[in-house]
């Protein structure tokens, strides 16, 4: 099968971007028709000529409909979400039909991967998830996308090659089994939790002091004529952990990054404040979702020394 220059997405499958060739069944039919034509000529069979040309005409009509089944489709992709090494990156392909024709058995496949099939209603749209395996951390190109169809009949295959221009960020594979999280290195906190004034959890009542917010006054308790009381709250202060590549055990850089990835996941799942020290970057301690993905991204993009 000839390889053609791929168009960049998003793209419309214009006629000059669509290529068509007979399938194995199509070549088999061509050989049969040639044999039938040879027999009809040798024996001057009128019905033989009629049948041969009728089947050949039906094959030509099938070729036209196969080409029309994919022509003028509009294709675009959404960038894949980050995954961990060893998981499949998922690229979402959007196909739209604007010519008022139903499209059947449209196949979409990334390089070397099994195709995914879908139908598109007239003037409708469809989304196809395309998977691509990942093996190592860092950026991974999603490669070339091939859209094809053999409908109807399967005698011909029409296809178009498109450059997704998409890449997926692959996080390091988490270490299994993982070592316990390092102890907090914040002075005075050890490995436990401390408390401080805050607005999270109710801790009790105290006598009203000038400057207390009216919202904190406990009017029910104050109505007993035993004095004014204010509600007191405390916030739980979490241990602060620094995750440092230089002090992470491992036989090589990849094992160290795997262990750091596992520690980041553990600290995030237990809602602890954690920071990350790498040769190329230092991320201050935090515990929100953005910090979690920033740490994993930094680990994915660490360059070998």
pLDDT at 138 > cutoff 60: yes
- pLDDT > 70 fraction of the chain, expressed in percent and rounded: 80
Name which residue leads in pLDDT, 266 or 6: 266
| pLDDT tier for residue 187 given thresholds of 50, 70 and 90 | very low
Can you spell out the DSSP letters for 166-204?
A: -EEEEEPPPPSSPPPPPPP-STTTTTS-EEEEEEEEEEE
Q: What average pLDDT score do residues 262-276 get?
A: 92
Computed over every residue of the chain, the mean pLDDT equals 86
| pLDDT tier for residue 257 given thresholds of 50, 70 and 90 | very high
| pLDDT tier for residue 212 given thresholds of 50, 70 and 90 | low
pLDDT at 222 > cutoff 70: no
Q: What is the pLDDT of residues 1-32, one digit of tens each?
A: 445 556 777 889 999 999 999 999 999 999 99
> Left if phi > 0, otherwise alpha if psi is -120 to 50, otherwise beta: which for 271?
left
Q: What average pLDDT score do residues 195-212 get?
A: 56
Which of these ranges, 120-124, 230-234, 293-297, has the smallest mean pLDDT? 230-234
Q: What is the pLDDT of residues 37-64, one digit of tens each?
A: 999 999 999 999 999 999 999 999 999 9
130 strand-pairing partners? 91
**Euclidean distance between CA atoms 242 and 240, whole angstroms:** 7
């Amino acid at each position: 099968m000839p390889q053609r220059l791929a168009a960049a997405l998003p793209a419309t499958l214009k006629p000059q971007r669509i290529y068509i060739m007979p399938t194995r069944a199509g070549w088999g039919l061509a050989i049969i028709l040639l044999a039938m034509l040879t027999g009809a000529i040798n024996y001057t069979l009128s019905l033989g000529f009629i049948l041969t040309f009728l089947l050949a005409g039906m094959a030509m009509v099938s070729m036209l409909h196969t080409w029309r089944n994919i022509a003028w489709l509009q294709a675009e992709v959404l960038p894949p979400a980050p995954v961990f090494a060893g998981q499949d990156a998922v690229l979402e392909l959007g196909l739209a039909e604007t010519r008022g024709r139903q499209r059947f058995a449209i196949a979409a496949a990334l390089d070397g991967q099994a195709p995914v099939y879908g139908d598109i209603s007239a003037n409708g749209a469809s989304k196809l998830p395309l998977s691509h395996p990942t093996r190592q951390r860092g950026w991974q190109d999603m490669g070339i996308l091939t859209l094809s169809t053999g409908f109807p009949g399967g005698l011909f295959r029409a296809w178009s090659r498109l450059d997704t221009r998409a890449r997926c960020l692959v996080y390091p594979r988490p270490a299994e089994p993982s070592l316990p999280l390092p102890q907090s290195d914040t002075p005075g906190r050890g490995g436990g939790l401390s408390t401080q004034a805050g607005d999270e959890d109710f801790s009790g009542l105290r006598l009203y002091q000038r400057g207390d917010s009216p919202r904190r006054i406990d009017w029910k308790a104050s109505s007993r004529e035993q004095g004014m009381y204010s509600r007191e709250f405390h916030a739980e202060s979490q241990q602060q952990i620094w995750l440092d590549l230089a002090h992470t055990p491992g036989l090589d850089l990849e094992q160290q990054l795997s262990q750091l990835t596992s520690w980041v996941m553990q600290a995030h799942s237990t809602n602890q404040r954690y920071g990350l020290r790498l040769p190329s970057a230092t991320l201050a301690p935090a515990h929100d979702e953005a910090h979690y993905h920033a740490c994993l991204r930094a680990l994915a993009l660490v360059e070998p020394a």
